Amino acid sequence: MDGKKILMIVGDYGEDLEIMVPFQALQMVGHEVHAVCPDKKKGDTCPTAVHDFVGDQTYKELQGHNFTLNYDFDKANPSDYDALVLPGGRAPEYLRLNDEVISKVKHFLDEDKPIAAICHGLQIFARTGGIQGKTLTAYPACGPEMEACGANYKEVAPTEAVVDGNLVTSPAWPGHQKWLAEFLKVLGTEITHN
């Protein structure tokens, strides 16, 4: 089977693990992943953030790595891609204000193409108008927003994933092994062991 072409939309202070791990894992199994960010080009970097719980009422944000983009945002035509990945972190809260981001994401929703969205990545859906009736999960603080958008929000453990047709969602990076496995099924990727 030929690998799929996947678009990943990232931004400054996206969650480090939610960008780095899927970007590498999806390429490892033979898919082509274009990581893009509005107003940036191939070779530019996005600083990432590590979100961790250290006993406070919410997570603490620590400096992550500098993630190097491998494609230009302006050249990324959604019709050229088979699937979309939306990592979480702080970036989605401002990425959803960008009309070009919303236009690209709407294409994947309207065409019922595979989408994986993790943690706060689902905040981008708030402006798309395309998740009414969809069953999904997100970081718990985003749950009320998902419900306000008409989605059927399910609160699950951070290690879990929720699948509704071509939409795969997970509350946070501890669910990588689950959502990546489910996303590979949606993509039609078969991994065999001898």
Looking at 119, 142, 149, 176, which residue is catalytic? 119
Instruction: Based on the residue annotation, tell me whether 119 is a catalytic residue of this protein.
Output: yes
Separation of alpha carbons 191 and 193, rounded Å: 7
Name residue 36's beta-bridge partners.
9
Q: What is the mean pLDDT of residues 46-63?
A: 79
Q: What's the token pair of residue 137?
A: 């999960």
Looking at 51, 107, 120, 176, which residue is catalytic? 120
Separation of alpha carbons 68 and 58, rounded Å: 28
CB 155 within 8 A of CB 3: no
Q: What is the pLDDT of residues 135-191, one digit of tens each?
A: 999 999 999 999 999 999 999 999 999 999 999 999 999 999 999 999 999 999 998
pTM attached to this predicted model? 0.95
What's the pLDDT score for residue 1? 52
Interstrand relation of 162-164 and 167-170 (parallel, antiparallel or unpaired): antiparallel
Rounded to whole angstroms, the maximal C-alpha distance in the chain is 47
Residue 35 carries which DSSP code?
Answer: E
The CATH superfamily label for domain 5-187 reads Class I glutamine amidotransferase (GATase) domain (3.40.50.880)
Domain-by-domain residue ranges, the chain? 5-187
Of the candidates 156, 157, 107, the one whose C-alpha atom is nearest the C-alpha of residue 128 is 107
Instruction: Based on the residue annotation, tell me whether 120 is a catalytic residue of this protein.
Output: yes
What's the pLDDT score for residue 62? 77
Q: What is the pLDDT of residues 88-138, one digit of tens each?
A: 999 999 999 999 999 999 999 999 999 999 999 999 998 898 899 999 999
Q: What's the token pair of residue 15?
A: 């969650």
